[in-house]
C-alpha cells in the first residue's frame, strides 16, 4: 500500500469513527430524554407479567435479535424468531435460505408463527433497516391482529424513501406501536470513496446499541419495582450454566436458541 493509499484509508477510518460516535451520541441523548421509555415500559410490563420478548429480524438485522435473545447480560425471557426455523423444524429445503427471496415472501410467516409458542402477554420487537420486506411487514401485521404490542427498530430515512414490498402497501414503521429510528442513512453507507463507492454501513452498530439500551432499561425498571430481573450470566463463569438453566426452565419451549 502506497503512502497516499495509507493516508486515504486512515482518513476513512477517522471519518467512520465520527459517523458512528455521532449517531451513538444522538441515541444516548434520545434515551436520556425519555425517547426509549415507551418501548422499555412495554418490555418490562411483559416480562413482569410472565411474558416473553419475541424478536425478529432478517438479513443483517438478525444480529439485532441475537443481541437481545440468549446472551450474557441479557434477559432470559427472550426468543429469537428466525426464518431458518422453516428449514430446521419446518421441512423446507435449505436452498430457500440463499439470497433474499425468503425474507421478501410474506406467505411463510403464518407457518413460522405456528412453530413459535406465543402467549398473550408476549411483546414483539422487529428490527429491519428498510422496514419494507414482505416477511417483516407480514409478521408485524399478524402479531398486531393477535393483539400484541410491537416495537420497531428501523431507519426512518431509508424506509420513507422506498416503496414497500408487502401487498398491504404498509411499512413496518406504519404498523408498530413504538418506532425507534436506528439513524442509519439511506442505503446504510456513511462514507464515499473518490470514485463514488458507498461504504461504512452503520445500521448494525446502532441497532446493537439500541438493543443493549432496551435490555439495560428493562432490567433497571424491573429492579426498581422490586422484582429480581431474570438475566443471563456468562456460561463460562462459575455457576453460570446452573443459574441459566434453572431460569430457562421456567419458560420451557417458549424460548429457543436454535
* Helix-helix angle 203-224:37-48, to 10 degrees: 50
Q: What is the pLDDT of residue 221?
A: 97
* pTM (predicted TM-score): 0.94
pLDDT, tens digit (0-9, with 9 covering 90-100), for 190-220: 999 888 999 999 999 999 999 999 999 999 9
Q: What is the pLDDT of residue 156?
A: 98
> CA–CA distance from 45 to each of 75, 206, 217 (Å)?
13, 25, 12
Q: What is the pLDDT of residue 90?
A: 83
- The three-point CA angle 66-50-215 to 5° equals 35
Q: What is the pLDDT of residue 103?
A: 86
What CATH number does the domain located at 3-254 have?
3.40.50.10490
The rounded distance, in Å, linking the Cα atoms of 92 and 83 is 10
pLDDT, tens digit (0-9, with 9 covering 90-100), for 91-129: 788 878 887 888 889 999 999 999 999 999 999 999 999
Q: What is the pLDDT of residue 4?
A: 61
Q: Residue 127: phi, psi to the nearest 5?
A: -110, 130
User: At which residue does the C-alpha cell 424478536 appear?
Assistant: 55
The rounded distance, in Å, linking the Cα atoms of 190 and 184 is 8
Amino acid at each position: 500500500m502506497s503512502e497516499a493509499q495509507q493516508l486515504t484509508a486512515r482518513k476513512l477510518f477517522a471519518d467512520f469513527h465520527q459517523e458512528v460516535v455521532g449517531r451513538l451520541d444522538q441515541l444516548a441523548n434520545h434515551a436520556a430524554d425519555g425517547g426509549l421509555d415507551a418501548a422499555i415500559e412495554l418490555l418490562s410490563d411483559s416480562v413482569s407479567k410472565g411474558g416473553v420478548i419475541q424478536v425478529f429480524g432478517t438479513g443483517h438485522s438478525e444480529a439485532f435479535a441475537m443481541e437481545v435473545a440468549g446472551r450474557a447480560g441479557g434477559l432470559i425471557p427472550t426468543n429469537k424468531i428466525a426464518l431458518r426455523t422453516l428449514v430446521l423444524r419446518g421441512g423446507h429445503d435449505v436452498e430457500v435460505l440463499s439470497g433474499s427471496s425468503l425474507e421478501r415472501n410474506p406467505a411463510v410467516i403464518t407457518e413460522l408463527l405456528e412453530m413459535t409458542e406465543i402467549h398473550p402477554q408476549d411483546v414483539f420487537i422487529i428490527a429491519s433497516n428498510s422496514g419494507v420486506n414482505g416477511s417483516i411487514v407480514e409478521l408485524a401485521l399478524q402479531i398486531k391482529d393477535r393483539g400484541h404490542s410491537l416495537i420497531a427498530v428501523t431507519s426512518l430515512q431509508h424506509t420513507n424513501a422506498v416503496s414497500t414490498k408487502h401487498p398491504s402497501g404498509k411499512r413496518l414503521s406504519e404498523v408498530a406501536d413504538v418506532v425507534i429510528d436506528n439513524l442509519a442513512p439511506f442505503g446504510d453507507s456513511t462514507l464515499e470513496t473518490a470514485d463514488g463507492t458507498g461504504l461504512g454501513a452503520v445500521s448494525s452498530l446502532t441497532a446493537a446499541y439500541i438493543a443493549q439500551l432496551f435490555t439495560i432499561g428493562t432490567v433497571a425498571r424491573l429492579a426498581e419495582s422490586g422484582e429480581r430481573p431474570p438475566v443471563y450470566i456468562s456460561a463460562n463463569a462459575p455457576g453460570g450454566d446452573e443459574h441459566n438453566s434453572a431460569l430457562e426452565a421456567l419458560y420451557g419451549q417458549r424460548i429457543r436458541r436454535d
